[in-house]
Amino acid sequence: MKTTKFIRKEDATNNWYLLDAENIPVGRLATMAAFLLRGKHRPDYTPHIDMGDHVVIINAEKVTFTGNKWQSQKYYRHSGYMGGLREETAEELRGKYPERIIEAAVKGMLPKNRLGRKLIKKLRVYAGSEHKHDAQIPAAIEVSEKKYIQAAK
């Protein structure tokens, strides 16, 4: 009888990937980032281990929405005080903090447990085209259809 091989967290290697968000819908970009963060593109994927890679997303201010979501999509945050609930549309949030749009979308696609909180720390989002992770030599991945699966391998 054969046994299933599980990778230990000490044996997992992490790569760095760069995604350009210019003129890409938020949902398509977020699913790709969550897929890479989770490590599902790897042949030795293990669901309960942090096998994912680091993802750097640039040009967050140039991301797009389909339909009328710039006015209808709402983002909520709470100060912790009574009556401290704040609501913003996607258009208002893009003007102040364009990174939060992508971060919220990716966070919603990760597991809601300790592993998900650990994985979201591997996501770096920048509003402009400059980032500070050149030393890690991130591999650029084209964001179109399902090509990113082959590019990540």
Report angle CA 20, 113, 91 to the nearest 5 degrees.
40
pLDDT on residue 145: 52
Dump pLDDT digits (tens) for 39-87. Answer: 999 888 888 889 889 999 999 999 999 999 999 999 999 999 999 999 9
Per-residue pLDDT at 109 exceeds 70: yes
- Strand 16-20: give its sheet, edge to edge: 123-125, 54-58, 16-20, 139-141
Task: Give Cα 102 to chain centroid, integer Å.
Answer: 7
Q: Which domains does the chain have, with CATH numbers?
A: 16-64+94-152 (3.90.1180.10)
Per-residue pLDDT at 116 exceeds 70: yes
Distance, in Å, from the CA atom of 97 to the CA atom of 127, rounded to the nearest integer, reads 8
SS (H, E, C) 91-114: HHHHHHCCHHHHHHHHHHCCCCCH
pTM equals 0.89
Dump pLDDT digits (tens) for 80-108. Answer: 999 999 999 999 999 999 999 999 999 99
pLDDT on residue 6: 79
> What Cα–Cα distance (Å) separates residue 110 from each residue in 10, 85, 104, 106?
22, 24, 10, 7
pLDDT confidence bin for 2, thresholds 50/70/90? confident
